[in-house]
């Protein structure tokens, strides 16, 4: 039962343009949503999070949007840089501090 | 650099064997979670330990068990290995109350079951 879904396995974007990564979830009891970035041979690294009571959180080039009615969140990266090329995982946390991850989206930023 | 280390890096076992994977957390991080990441999938929550007690479990059978020690290290034990247990196993440590973004992942142990 996949409670968090990332339907785009890959995304290619030109350097300087906006990257938009999408994520859908099914459990309305999640209280936090997070994005992680993963390079090969490394564990996921936290990127940005948003509480379920917010609809937007911004940190530099990264913005996460949450649409609770649609059970959808997205990560915007602008401007995209070649160093942003990695696999991005969307995750959701329940009140029991258990994390559920999506299957990841591989982002390639083309110079 | 997250301060979380895992050993070994790679491991090959045969079906039916038992395996122990180890994780060393940051000092003071009294919560550790273990995840299984199969090829092409996202990390799947196995269980979480808080102050040496199991504090939540995902949809994994009892042959997956764990231990957490006072020195912030922990173990994941898997008995009666099956071919489908081949995956990257990740541990993540955190400090409760500091918010969900303070979960730090190790680099993982790649387990291959033949």
Q: What angle do CA B34, B39, B43 make, to 5 degrees?
A: 30
- B8 at interface of A, judged by CB pairs closer than 8 A: no
Nearest by CB: B56 against A42, A98, A104: A98
Residue count of chain B: 114
User: Cα-atom radius of gyration of chain A, to the nearest Å?
Assistant: 13
Q: Are B107 and A43 in contact (CB under 8 A)?
A: yes
Q: What angle do CA A25, B37, A42 make, to 5 degrees?
A: 105
pLDDT category of residue A34 using cuts at 50, 70 and 90: very high
Q: Are B24 and B3 in contact (CB under 8 A)?
A: no
Give Cα separations from B14 to A21, A52, B75, B79, B108 (angstroms): 39, 44, 20, 11, 20
Report the sign of the C-alpha dihedral through residues B40, B32, B61, B16, in that order.
positive
**Strand spans (E) along chain A:** 4-5, 10-14, 19-25, 32-38, 45-51, 56-59, 62-67, 72-77, 86-93, 99-101, 105-110
* Residue B15, pLDDT above cutoff 70: yes
- The mean per-residue pLDDT over the stretch A9-28 comes to 96
* Residue B2, pLDDT above cutoff 80: no
How many C-beta atoms surround the C-beta of residue B97 within 10 A? Answer: 7
Task: Point out the least confidently predicted range of A6-15, A58-67, B11-20, B50-59.
Answer: B50-59
Instruction: Please identify among residues 50-109 of chain B the ones whose CB lies closer than 8 Å to any CB of chain A.
Output: 55-56, 58-59, 90, 92, 96, 99-108
- The mean per-residue pLDDT over the stretch A75-99 comes to 93
B16-53 tens-digit pLDDT: 999 999 999 887 888 899 999 998 889 999 999 988 99
A vs B, Cβ pairs < 8 A, gives 64
Closest residue in A to B46 (Cα–Cα): A98
DSSP assignment string, chain B: --S-EEE-SEEEE-TT--EEEEEEPPTT--EEEEEEE-TTS--EEEEEEETTEEEEE-S--TTEEEEE-TTSEEEEEE-S--GGG-EEEEEEEE-TTS-GGG-EE---EEEEE-
**pLDDT of B1:** 64
Instruction: Please identify among residues 16-35 of chain B the ones whose CB lies closer than 8 Å to any CB of chain A.
Output: 31, 33, 35
Question: Is there a contact between B103 and A46 if contact means CB atoms under 8 Å apart?
Answer: yes
Question: Is there a contact between A101 and B44 if contact means CB atoms under 8 Å apart?
Answer: yes
Question: Is there a contact between B42 and A104 if contact means CB atoms under 8 Å apart?
Answer: yes
Token look-up 């995982």 returns A89
B44-91 tens-digit pLDDT: 999 999 889 998 888 899 999 999 999 889 999 999 999 999 999 999
């Amino acid at each position: 039962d996949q409670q968090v879904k990332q339907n785009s396995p890959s995304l290619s974007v030109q350097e300087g343009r906006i990257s938009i990564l999408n994520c859908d979830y099914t459990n309305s009891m999640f209280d936090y949503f997070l994005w992680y970035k993963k390079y090969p041979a490394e564990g996921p690294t936290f990127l940005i999070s948003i509480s379920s009571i917010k609809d937007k959180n911004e940190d530099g080039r990264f913005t996460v949007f949450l649409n609770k009615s649609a059970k959808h969140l997205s990560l915007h990266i602008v401007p995209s840089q070649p160093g942003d090329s990695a696999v991005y995982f969307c995750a959701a946390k329940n009140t029991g501090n258990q994390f559920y991850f999506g299957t990841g989206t591989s982002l390639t930023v083309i110079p | 650099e997250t301060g979380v280390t895992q050993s070994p890096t790679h491991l090959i076992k045969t079906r039916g064997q038992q395996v122990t994977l180890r994780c060393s957390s940051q000092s003071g991080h009294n919560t550790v979670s273990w995840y299984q990441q199969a090829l092409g999938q996202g990390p799947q929550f196995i269980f979480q330990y808080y102050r040496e007690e199991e504090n939540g479990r995902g949809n994994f059978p009892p042959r997956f068990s764990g231990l957490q020690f006072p020195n912030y290290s922990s173990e994941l034990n898997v008995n009666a290995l099956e071919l489908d247990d081949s995956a990257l196993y990740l541990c993540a440590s955190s400090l409760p109350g500091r918010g969900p973004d303070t979960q730090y992942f190790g680099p993982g142990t790649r387990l291959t079951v033949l």
